[in-house]
Chains A and B, each alone.
Chain A
Amino acid sequence: MFSLDWWGLVLPLCYVVVLGGTFMTFSTIYRKRKAMESANLAPWFPPHLQRNIYLSLLHMEPEGGSEKAPKVPESVVRAALLRRAVEDIHRIIQIRTAKAACSSLLQRGSVGDDLWQRFQRAEKEMEEELRDVVMEANALAPNWGQTIFQSANEILANATLKERLDEIQAQTEKEKEWWEKRRTSIKTEFMKELGDDTEKVTSGDEPVLVDTNTPSATPSATPSGASKKKKGKK
């Protein structure tokens, strides 16, 4: 029989243990850190105010002395659900438009991986949210779930339009003010010119409401025409 030199084996065994140990520690630490990171990812959307309102309306706590919770009128609950649907539509549109951009940017390396993870989580959450809204709607009124998002979509479109209009309307005061000032200044200039006949009209023909982009407007006519001409020749 041959005898084993146990002491000679200590070194290789140590090597294997150290190597294995290093890999194990690395992988556990790495995984833990990854899990921590993905758990701490900030949500894509801010807290869903409309959903919170709706849920708190549904589950009203009984107040002070009374035993029963205050009865919330059906119409209020429905309105709250509709508001929630409007906000959902708003969010789903954001996600839809951002999806293609986000994935292409991720491929190019212009945005990070954790953004994509957050994005996908938000997407899943939105799916759940939509399903939940449909179920709630069906519970409140039969078959409402099929139409609630259509109405919500229209409400949203209307709201955006109104917002835009308000923005434009808000400028009217300033514009009016400017125009009054401008008119008086032009008037005084004309008066001056009328009084002083010999002076030539110089500032009167200054463009008043002409679009600024004249440098762009001038070449636009010629080149396209020229290129058309060229193509026609051939």
Chain B
Amino acid sequence: MSAEYAYDEDGHLWPFFVFTLALIVTVPLTFSLVNRSRDPAAAFKRIQTSYKHDQADLVDTLRKKEKRKNRKIWLIILVLAGWATMGQMLYLIKTTVAPEAKLWNPYDILNIPESATEKQIKSTYKKLSLKFHPDKAKPDPAKNLTIEDISAHYVEISKAYQALTDAEIRENYIRYGHPDGKQGYSINIALPKIIVSEGNGKYIVLLYSALFGVLLPYLVGSWWYGTLRRSKEGVLMESANRLFREYKDNIDEGGIITALSTGKEFEDLLKGDKADAGLAKLESKILAEGELSPFAGGLSVKDKEKLQNLESGPQRKALALLWAYLGRVELDDAALTRAKFEVAPIAEALNKAFTAISLAYMNTAPLLASYYTSQLLIQALPPKSSPLLQLPYVNSKVVKAVEGDSRVHTTVQKFMDMPDSKRRSLAVGKGLLTEAQYKEAVSVAKQLPYLRVAKAFFKVTGEKYIIPSSLVTLVVKGRFVPPGSEKVPEVNEIDLEDVDPAEDDLDAILGRKTKKQIGKDEKGKPILESTSDEPILPPLAAAPYLARDHSPRWHVFLTDSKQGRVAVPPFTFAQFDRPIFEADGKTPTFAMQTLKAQFQAPPQAGHYTFVMHVVCDSYVGFDTKMEVTLIVEEASKAEEMSSEEEISEPEEDSIAGIMNAAKGGAPPKPKKRKEVAKVESEEESDEESGTDEDDDDTSDTNTDTEAED
């Protein structure tokens, strides 16, 4: 009667154990594999065009190659192995017969039905004892029957009989299921016996030490050094360090392109003899006389000097390739052309790191230059070139014809605002666009998402005035009006309002943190991001030259124009709350979009004039720059006004009231006593709202700016 531990000798338990283990590992891996292989770009709409430039196939191959890189072979193998193990285990579970632990049943032993009477039991017992008594039955070697077996059988029979007749033994049988009383139980460990059997011990120790002494440190180490190797923006740390060194306060787009070429990624791409191969040819091509700019690569004289001062090597080649890419220079060399399209996405990724660096300096000019560089890299345009080149089939000759010898570039919007006949007369002609090409260009232009800002204002949720240090929301209202849209409806005044959620609207109040994603429908009801209608994604950027799929983003930030400093760092919007295009993906809806950004108001009252920038990172010339004034009132003035207007005190059962009480504030006064207690309680609530907003302050405001103004 003791507990005994046994290893799984007949192998009916450990398959369960292995199956469970494999299940735990394989299912999440499978999930991630499926997630990975799903094309993330498939969720996005595309701008409909049939345009293909000469190297479109090459760009497509590079895009596909990048997608393939995301698939991991080892993951696939691991998942397959996992499922195979699970199948094998299932098979084992099914085929292995588990030994049945039989229940001790006196009726079965005596071979009588359970309904038998005492008389029947007695007679059966007598019959059986006559037959199986050790004195009567003879051992039979043929049946492998020994004397022990016979006596054991007889003991069983008498036990069964006693269990049914003797009161004490019956009690035992009822309580423990056995006439002898409590039985020992056995515990099986679901490990195959092989593991502990003699002689295998050293292999197990070896396996154990390999797992914990080699594999675990290796995995932890590779994870740790992997995180150290890449910066937060996903570029190599060394590249980020070099970019930081390249930062200058007066850097322009050309300077940023030069800075980006220092990236270590290019060294990995242009290894060995690739670093110099064809460099001379490449440079002669990009430095040839261009049609629109002094050089074909679109670089300025300063950029050319910088290029030529570099030592020849990967950096110089990368820079030359970048200029060739931006200038859309034909290279007549398969390897060079391929490299040309390969460097651009790398530069685009590096530029993100540069944006983060310039943001840390809080200077407007480099930050803007970095956003502009992103536009240029995505659209394959050199700095200070015509935005019209973003349209399909448009080349330098067409640009020349449209712009004449004007110094300022015609933006896509301006071009599309011209009457169709004028546009056509300028762009269509011999050596220019054909009729079909012109139509294609116009059709693409009419699908570009240009965010036209209708209104931008500041507000504090739930307050009428902006008091110092409160949490201000910058609300930008705008519509996507593609260039050349006809019959643009008038702006609906109601759409421009931004109604606060009702005080008892729990969802809206709790959703305050994700304010950015909250929009409002026509009735002013808040729509949360998590509601059933999914966030609207803008179509993928129309970038035929970029060997990646890129989803456009809009950055909204405030700057101080006098000091050239960023006052409120950028808020990035990649999805919207209202549809941009109708279901056909072409007709714009002109729905009013709401962009919200929260930051802390300056600590002093006054009028603050900021320049608001709305920059799209994918299209050139689609940026908005406008002045907005933030009026911060003295806290005392806001109090006066509010006491005149009698804002409602928090009710006892409202959330504000509960919060008020929870913070130890005075319980809301009954209405009758309001007159007396008004001034006092209002002071309190004001104070509290102030501290409250301090606590959940999320945006850091530039203190320099505030102090100066």
Whether A associates with B in a native complex is yes
| C-alpha spacing A212/B384, complex, angstroms | 12
When distances are taken between beta carbons in the complex, the residues of chain A under 8 Å from B240 are 110-112, 115
| C-alpha spacing A94/B356, complex, angstroms | 18
When distances are taken between beta carbons in the complex, the residues of chain B under 8 Å from A105 are 244, 356-357, 360
- Binding site of A, secondary structure by majority: helix, strand, loop or mixed? helix
B569 CB to nearest A CB, Å: 11
Chain A 25-53 interface mask (CB, 8 Å, partner B; 1/0): 00000000000000000001000000000
A223 touches B456 (CB 8 A): yes
A227 touches B456 (CB 8 A): yes
B261 CB to nearest A CB, Å: 18
From A181, which residue of chain B is reached at the shortest CB distance?
A: B405
When distances are taken between beta carbons in the complex, the residues of chain B under 8 Å from A210 are 408
B244 touches A215 (CB 8 A): no
From B478, which residue of chain A is reached at the shortest CB distance?
A: A219
A206 touches B360 (CB 8 A): no
Q: Which of A79-87, A96-104, A126-134, A137-145 contacts B (4 or more CB under 8 A)?
A: A96-104
A224 contacts B by Cβ under 8 Å: yes
From A167, which residue of chain B is reached at the shortest CB distance?
A: B302
A220 touches B457 (CB 8 A): no
Q: Which of B150-158, B184-192, B225-233 contacts A (4 or more CB under 8 A)?
A: B225-233
A185 contacts B by Cβ under 8 Å: yes
A230 touches B457 (CB 8 A): yes
When distances are taken between beta carbons in the complex, the residues of chain B under 8 Å from A213 are 625
B356 touches A110 (CB 8 A): yes
A216 touches B356 (CB 8 A): no
| C-alpha spacing A110/B411, complex, angstroms | 35
B233 touches A110 (CB 8 A): yes
Count residues of chain B with CB under 8 A from any CB of chain A: 44
B357 touches A226 (CB 8 A): no
When distances are taken between beta carbons in the complex, the residues of chain A under 8 Å from B245 are 44, 115
B624 touches A216 (CB 8 A): yes
When distances are taken between beta carbons in the complex, the residues of chain B under 8 Å from A214 are 414
B452 touches A224 (CB 8 A): no
B228 touches A226 (CB 8 A): no
A111 touches B629 (CB 8 A): no
| C-alpha spacing A215/B626, complex, angstroms | 10
Interface of chain B residues 524 through 560 with chain A (CB within 8 A)? none
A223 touches B457 (CB 8 A): yes
From B411, which residue of chain A is reached at the shortest CB distance?
A: A215
From A215, which residue of chain B is reached at the shortest CB distance?
A: B413
A227 touches B356 (CB 8 A): no
Interface of chain B residues 443 through 458 with chain A (CB within 8 A)? 452-458
Chain B 597-623 interface mask (CB, 8 Å, partner A; 1/0): 000000000000000000000000001
A111 touches B231 (CB 8 A): yes
B346 contacts A by Cβ under 8 Å: no
Q: Which of A109, A182, A224 contacts B628 (CB 8 A)?
A: A224
B251 contacts A by Cβ under 8 Å: no
When distances are taken between beta carbons in the complex, the residues of chain B under 8 Å from A181 are 405
| C-alpha spacing A214/B626, complex, angstroms | 11
From A231, which residue of chain B is reached at the shortest CB distance?
A: B631
A227 touches B455 (CB 8 A): yes
Chain A 194-231 interface mask (CB, 8 Å, partner B; 1/0): 00000000000011001111111001101110111011
When distances are taken between beta carbons in the complex, the residues of chain B under 8 Å from A234 are 464-465
Interface of chain B residues 397 through 437 with chain A (CB within 8 A)? 405-409, 411, 413-414
| C-alpha spacing A223/B455, complex, angstroms | 5
From B358, which residue of chain A is reached at the shortest CB distance?
A: A101
A114 touches B241 (CB 8 A): yes
Interface of chain A residues 141 through 186 with chain B (CB within 8 A)? 178, 181-182, 185
B244 touches A111 (CB 8 A): yes
A68 contacts B by Cβ under 8 Å: no
Q: Which of A104, A207, A215, A231 contacts B624 (CB 8 A)?
A: A215
When distances are taken between beta carbons in the complex, the residues of chain A under 8 Å from B362 are 101
| C-alpha spacing A220/B405, complex, angstroms | 28
Q: Which of A109, A178, A206, A224 contacts B626 (CB 8 A)?
A: A224
* Most central of B360, B458, B496 by chain A CB within 10 Å: B360
A-B contact pairs, 24 of them (CB 8 A): A102-B244, A105-B244, A110-B231, A110-B232, A110-B240, A110-B356, A110-B357, A111-B244, A113-B228, A206-B406, A207-B408, A213-B625, A215-B414, A215-B624, A216-B624, A219-B452, A219-B453, A223-B453, A223-B455, A224-B628, A226-B496, A227-B457, A228-B629, A228-B631
Interface residues of A, Cβ cutoff 8 Å to B: 44, 97-98, 100-102, 104-105, 108-115, 178, 181-182, 185, 206-207, 210-216, 219-220, 222-224, 226-228, 230-231, 234
List 6 additional contacts besides A100-B360, A101-B357, A224-B628; criterion CB under 8 Å: A101-B362, A110-B353, A215-B624, A223-B454, A227-B628, A228-B631
Q: What are the 10 tightest A-B residue pairs by CB atom distance, in nearest-first order?
A: A101-B360, A227-B457, A112-B237, A220-B626, A216-B625, A115-B241, A212-B408, A109-B232, A223-B455, A101-B361
